[in-house]
């Protein structure tokens, strides 16, 4: 998300919803365009205050439509057994973040189709509402807002159905190629190339618009084209790395034996003996020879420094460990969601009931770097 911070606005259907700081850029641009250009040209003679209200409410409704589009993806994915960590609105729309890739071509096909399907349903419903309001003699200002919303939802559906990965249409294409070839990586490569080609086509269209018609109205096509081309290339590289990580078991990269922290160790001692002098920022906490938690530097930093001499690792450790335990034979790609910055950040590797080692984000980063150097 351009490395900009996001903040949570709530949970819907049990899924966290976040707004990335970059979203305010596009919100302002859309609202200003509607207020100063689109609505004054569509409905003449209204006051500035009315145009501002129309622009703000319509922009909010539009991004509400984007949110419904993303939730359609998320709910279908969740129905298929995938975990959705969050839905985020950002400068180019929205994205549903999943812990893993779809498990079959059919699941990906249905999941990718759900978003554009929702946008088409919204467009149809809003078109019907617009026709009803027109017949009822509603004010032109209301009709202009509803007309814009059904048109923009239809446009959103059509654009997302373009066959370039990672657009929804590109995911549909990948699902079809995956089903035909049985090879997810190859399908991703072909669909990503389509995405890059589509991005270049959008940029070329914008350039021709500037050169032939001396108009800057198509500049957004160039921005979207660049964004799509960049994302397509990045998506394939991520899939390539994930495919390689799928061949590496945890026992190859885990730190073993794991450095253990007695529960009675104070945060003051941890700062000097573990966080500063150790290899990781997270360590298993033991009590009576039993792992009872996981302590990390972030948790420690949440405690006032003056309390470190009297606060123990056991006091601040994460004690719910069931979801961060894995076998030595588990492939690295399966634990990536657990290494999310907002998650536990480490996995405990257990064999025959005993702690065999620990894998942290730093271990996986080193592996990814070694893969990049070899390729």
pLDDT, tens digit, 9 for 90 and up, residues 276-316 = 866 677 888 888 777 888 888 888 888 888 889 899 988 88
Is 251 one of the annotated active-site residues of the chain? no
Per-residue pLDDT, 1: 43
Q: Answer yes or no: is 1 within a domain.
A: no
Same domain assignment for residues 339 and 259: yes
Q: Answer yes or no: is 11 within a domain.
A: yes
Same domain assignment for residues 115 and 16: yes
Q: Answer yes or no: is 236 within a domain.
A: yes
The helix/strand/coil state of 264 is coil
Where does the pLDDT of residue 163 fall: very low under 50, low under 70, confident under 90, or very high at 90 and above? Answer: very high
Same domain assignment for residues 258 and 340: yes
Q: Answer yes or no: is 228 within a domain.
A: yes
Same domain assignment for residues 116 and 218: no
Per-residue pLDDT, 362: 83
Alpha helices in 98-218 (DSSP H): 105-135, 140-160, 168-181, 184-213
Q: The domain containing residue 80 runs over which residues?
A: 6-161
9-51 tens-digit pLDDT: 889 888 999 998 888 888 998 999 999 999 999 999 999 999 9
Q: Answer yes or no: is 361 within a domain.
A: yes
Same domain assignment for residues 121 and 23: yes
Q: How many Cβ atoms are within 10 Å of 105's Cβ, its own excluded?
A: 19
Per-residue pLDDT, 292: 82
Q: How many Cβ atoms are within 10 Å of 137's Cβ, its own excluded?
A: 7
Higher pLDDT pick, 300 / 133: 133
> Distance between CA atoms of 266 and 328, rounded to whole angstroms?
31
Same domain assignment for residues 16 and 46: yes
pLDDT value at 168 more than 50 = yes
Numbers of helices and strands, H then E, in the chain: 13, 10
208-226 tens-digit pLDDT: 888 887 766 677 788 888 9
Same domain assignment for residues 146 and 192: no
Q: Answer yes or no: is 168 within a domain.
A: no
- The residues, any chain, with a CB within 8 Å of residue 324's CB and separated by 6 or more, are 294, 338, 344, 346, 347, 348
- Report yes or no: 90 and 177 within 8 Å, Cβ to Cβ: no
Q: Where residue 316 sits, what CATH number does that domain have?
A: 3.10.580.10
Q: How many domains does the chain have?
A: 3
Task: Examine the fold and report which residue of 130, 161, 192 is the final residue of a domain before the chain moves on.
Answer: 161
Q: Answer yes or no: is 172 within a domain.
A: no
pLDDT value at 53 more than 90 = yes
**What pTM was computed for the model?**
0.79
Per-residue pLDDT, 363: 87
The DSSP letter of residue 36 is: I
Q: Answer yes or no: is 171 within a domain.
A: no
Spot the catalytic one: 70, 268, 269, 373: 70
Q: Tokens 């850029």 appear where?
A: 25
Same domain assignment for residues 203 and 258: no
Same domain assignment for residues 103 and 195: no
């Amino acid at each position: 998300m351009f490395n900009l911070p996001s903040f949570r606005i709530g949970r819907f259907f049990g899924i966290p919803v976040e707004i990335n700081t970059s979203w305010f850029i596009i919100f302002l641009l859309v609202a200003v365009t509607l207020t100063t250009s689109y609505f004054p040209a569509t409905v003449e003679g209204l006051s500035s205050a009315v145009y501002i209200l129309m622009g703000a409410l319509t922009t909010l409704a539009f991004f509400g439509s984007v949110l419904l589009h993303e939730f359609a993806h998320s709910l279908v994915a969740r129905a298929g057994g995938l975990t959705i960590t969050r839905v985020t609105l950002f400068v180019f729309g929205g994205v549903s973040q999943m812990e893993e890739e779809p498990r079959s071509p059919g699941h990906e096909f249905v999941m990718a189709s759900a978003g554009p399907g929702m946008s088409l349903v919204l467009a149809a419903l809003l078109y019907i509402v617009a026709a009803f309001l027109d017949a009822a003699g509603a004010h032109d200002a209301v009709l202009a807002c509803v007309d814009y919303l059904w048109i923009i939802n239809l446009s959103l559906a059509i654009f997302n159905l373009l066959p370039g990965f990672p657009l929804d249409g590109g995911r549909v294409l990948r699902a079809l190629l995956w089903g035909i070839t049985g090879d997810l990586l190859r399908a991703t490569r072909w669909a990503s190339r389509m995405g890059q080609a589509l991005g270049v086509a959008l940029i070329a269209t914008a350039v021709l618009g500037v050169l032939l018609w001396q108009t800057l109205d198509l500049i957004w096509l160039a921005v979207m084209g660049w964004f799509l081309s960049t994302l397509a290339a990045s998506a394939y590289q991520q899939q390539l790395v994930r495919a390689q990580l799928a061949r590496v078991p945890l026992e190859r990269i885990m730190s073993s034996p794991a450095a253990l922290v007695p529960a009675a160790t104070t945060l003051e001692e941890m700062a000097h003996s573990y966080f500063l002098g150790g290899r990781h920022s997270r360590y298993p906490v033991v009590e009576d020879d039993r792992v009872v938690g996981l302590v990390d530097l972030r948790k420690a930093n949440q405690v006032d420094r003056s309390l470190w001499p009297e606060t123990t690792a056991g006091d601040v450790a994460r004690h719910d460990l069931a979801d961060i335990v894995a076998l030595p034979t588990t492939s690295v790609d399966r634990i990536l969601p657990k290494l999310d910055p907002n998650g536990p950040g480490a996995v405990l590797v257990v064999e025959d009931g005993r702690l065999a080692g620990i894998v942290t984000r730093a271990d996986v980063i080193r592996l990814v770097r070694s893969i990049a150097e070899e390729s």
